[in-house]
């Protein structure tokens, strides 16, 4: 696809950092439902990219039987307490390919925004140091992570706010996402979308409408993207990157 691209909007969990969110959701499930059904594929399909209460309700509706809505708030609260502890312990890592892409896009002159449904995104990115002494959080011109919106992803509201915050029309933004719900939100907002399939879920991201799906963000042709073309680099280029 070809269009003018002047801003990049990044999700955080699964895109910039290997966060403990999936672990927290699974471990917090004990007593609410059988955690055995909470696989990575289940997390990607039904929880990733959604707001906390929506995610809790989605899990219990599928795994917890009757009365899911009544117990969702308690499940979400337990999950939040666990994720807070895991982040404080530093139980997460940043993806090197994501850092390289974010730095390259910043250098290329794109406006940069964060738009994660998670209210914990800032706490993680502020703990990730860069070689220049700054933090990963400091690369971004706007941070909408955890912002309350009427509806979460796949509704585009959060991404539209991010575009507004950096002063770029939605049609000139590219969204970097790992969740089908996030890709669908980008599409609904009229934005280009780049899907990162770290979990072998290329098909799900393509079905959601991603313009480009890669297994590593090092595969993205940054020079072409800055020129308005979203594509992967040639295999030989990627191999020698």
Q: Residue 103 pLDDT > 80, yes or no?
A: yes
Model confidence at 241, in pLDDT bands (50, 70, 90)?
low
In the prediction, which pLDDT does 81 show? 95
Residue 215: is its pLDDT beyond 80?
yes
| pLDDT exceeds 70 at position 237 | no
pLDDT given at position 240 = 47
CATH 1.10.150.240 assigned to domain 21-88? The reply is: yes
What is the band of 65 on the pLDDT scale with cuts at 50, 70, 90? confident
Residue 167 tokens, joined: 């002063």
Q: How many beta carbons lie within 10 A of that of residue 234, not counting itself?
A: 10
The pair phi, psi for residue 143, each rounded to 5°, is -130, 110
Cross-sheet strand order for the sheet of 192-196: 142-143, 111-114, 7-10, 173-177, 192-196, 212-214
Compute the distance between CA of residue 201 and CA of residue 196 in angstroms, rounded to an integer: 9
**Which distant-in-sequence residues (6+ apart) come within 8 Å of 70 by Cβ?**
none
Provide CATH 1.10.150.240 ranges for the chain: 21-88
User: What average pLDDT score do residues 168-175 get?
Assistant: 97
Residue-level pLDDT at 152:
85
Checking if the pLDDT of 69 tops 80, the result is: no
Q: Tell me which of 3.40.50.450, 3.40.50.1000, 2.102.10.10, 3.40.50.10740 is the CATH number of domain 7-18+92-239.
A: 3.40.50.1000
pLDDT band at 64 (very low <50, low <70, confident <90, very high): confident
Range(s) of the chain covered by CATH 3.40.50.1000 = 7-18+92-239
- Quick one: pLDDT at residue 1? 57
Instruction: Provide the mean pLDDT of the chain.
Output: 91
Q: Which of 7-16, 42-51, 81-90, 116-125 has the highest mean pLDDT?
A: 7-16
**pTM (2 d.p.):** 0.81
């Amino acid at each position: 696809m070809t269009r003018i691209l002047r801003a990049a909007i990044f999700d955080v969990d699964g895109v910039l950092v290997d966060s403990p969110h999936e672990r927290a959701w699974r471990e917090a499930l004990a007593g609410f439902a059988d955690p055995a059904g909470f696989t990575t594929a289940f997390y990607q399909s039904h929880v990733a990219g959604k707001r906390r209460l929506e995610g809790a309700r989605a899990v219990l509706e599928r795994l917890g039987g009757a009365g899911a809505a009544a117990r969702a708030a308690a499940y979400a609260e337990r999950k939040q307490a666990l994720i807070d502890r895991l982040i404080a312990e530093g139980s997460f890592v940043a993806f090197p390919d994501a850092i390289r892409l974010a730095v390259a896009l910043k250098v290329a002159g794109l406006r940069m925004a964060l738009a994660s449904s998670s209210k914990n995104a800032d706490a993680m990115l502020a703990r990730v140091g860069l070689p220049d002494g700054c933090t990963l959080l400091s690369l971004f011109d706007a941070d909408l992570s955890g912002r309350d919106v009427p509806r979460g992803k796949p509704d585009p509201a959060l991404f539209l706010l991010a575009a507004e915050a950096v002063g770029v029309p939605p049609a000139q933004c590219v969204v970097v996402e790992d969740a089908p719900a996030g890709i669908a939100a980008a599409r609904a907002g009229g934005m280009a979308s780049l899907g990162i399939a770290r979990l072998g879920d290329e098909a799900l991201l393509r079905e959601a409408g991603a313009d480009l799906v890669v297994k590593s963000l090092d595969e993205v042709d940054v020079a072409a993207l800055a020129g308005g073309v979203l594509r992967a680099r040639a295999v030989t280029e990627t191999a020698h990157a």
